[in-house]
Amino acid sequence: MQRRQFIQGMAVAGLGATLPWSLASAVNAVQQAVSVNSLPKLVGELTLYLGRGEGGLYENVLEAIKKRNPQLTLNIRRGGTAALANTIVAEAQAGVRRADVFWAVDTGAIGLMTDEKLAQPLPDDLTEQLKPGFQYAGWSPVTGRIRTLPYNTERVTAAQIPDDVMALADSDLQIGWAPAYASFQSFVTAMRILEGEDATAEWLKGVSGHAKSYAGELGVVMGVERGEVDMGFANHYYTLRLKAGKPDAKVDLAFTKNDAGCLVNASGIVALSEGDLPVNFIRYLLTQEVQSYLSSEAYEIPLVKGVAEPQGLVPLNTLSPPKIDLRKLADIRPTLNLMRKVGVL
């Protein structure tokens, strides 16, 4: 779906939205994603802090929302997710509120908002649209991403990839990783929470002995496909995007079970000011149109009921991610200290 088609489609869908607002009854009736046709128009001024991510696709969503809602003045402050989260906390401590909504590409930053008690509660009819396991009172996941093991199909077979991420420390596989990348650091944070600091330190030391570093996880996947390494660590969508543009790419996905190697993380959004406008803005991100767009174009996992998952990914319900409160991934400082201590940062 091209950017112009998506924006025009959102605008056209909004032209028929003349019926009274009754989202709760719509959700109860169909138990699936709500269309923009069911949403009220957004009127007023809203300031969004937007964590950078997804190559401009989030910007396309915002442009479509603005086009459908000409009476909305949307002020956007862009930056790194962690930096914006720290800014919001600093502003709150100074008695200033500049952001009405915060859209973060990583739930660790959302955890900081809830820990600081800056998040406004969301109504039940909004959270009930989300899949089980992704329903939170103080924030809303938008789309998911799962940790995967992309591997080169000419160098190794799927049977050679362990389904226990901890076993990779002692394997003879050549591994690609991006230790400075935020998604990798969230993965290590999950490992530290699940396995303990000592086991995580030993794992980092073990893997570093046969790992090649890349600047980011797209680079990891491309390195795997070129045969520079046997396998790597990356979010699922980098491989799906590569294969979409290069169907004969020599890369496929393997998954671990019940550990940090199969962590399902999410982008998330939180309302920071009271009132209907921030909440109704969040509703737009959970619509059939937006969720489908991010699934088909960004290859992210829709977390609203009734929206198809991205092509090329095994169904989410067939995987075995660990049970972890995603907000705990906000505790990143001990992870960075650990990674520096063992010499991988």
Q: What local confidence, expressed as pLDDT, does residue 55 receive?
A: 52
Which residues are documented as binding site? Answer: 237-238
Residues 21 and 109 in one domain: yes
Residues 168 and 230 in one domain: yes
Task: For residue 73, list its beta bridge partners.
Answer: 45
In this predicted model, what pLDDT tens digit does every residue of 34-45 receive, in sequence order? 999 999 999 999
Which residues are documented as binding site for Fe cation? Answer: 237-238
Residue 23: is its pLDDT beyond 60? no
Question: What is the number of domains present in the chain?
Answer: 2
Residues 277 and 289 in one domain: yes
Using alpha carbons, select from 44, 173, 186 the residue that is nearest to residue 112.
Answer: 186
In this predicted model, what pLDDT tens digit does every residue of 59-92 receive, in sequence order? 999 999 999 999 999 999 998 888 899 999 999 9
Residues 76 and 52 in one domain: yes
What is the extent of the structural domain holding 310?
3-144+266-316
* 285 contacts 61 by C-beta, under 8 angstroms: yes
Residue 18: is its pLDDT beyond 50? no
Residues 134 and 71 in one domain: yes
Residues 167 and 124 in one domain: no
The upper half-sphere exposure of residue 219, i.e. CA atoms within 13 Å in the direction of its Cβ, equals 12
Using alpha carbons, select from 226, 231, 225, 227 the residue that is nearest to residue 177.
Answer: 231
Q: Does the predicted TM-score (pTM) go above 0.95?
A: no
Residues 154 and 259 in one domain: yes
Residues 181 and 133 in one domain: no
In this predicted model, what pLDDT tens digit does every residue of 104-132 receive, in sequence order? 988 878 888 988 999 999 999 999 999 98
Least confident piece of the model among 114-118, 167-171, 269-273: 114-118
**Which CATH number belongs to the domain containing residue 108 in this structure?**
3.40.190.10
Residues 85 and 125 in one domain: yes
Residues 112 and 197 in one domain: no
Residue 156: is its pLDDT beyond 90? yes
Residue 319: is its pLDDT beyond 80? yes
Residues 331 and 187 in one domain: yes
Share of the chain above pLDDT 70, in %: 90
12, 119, 268 from 94: Cα distances, Å: 43, 17, 25
Residues 16 and 95 in one domain: yes
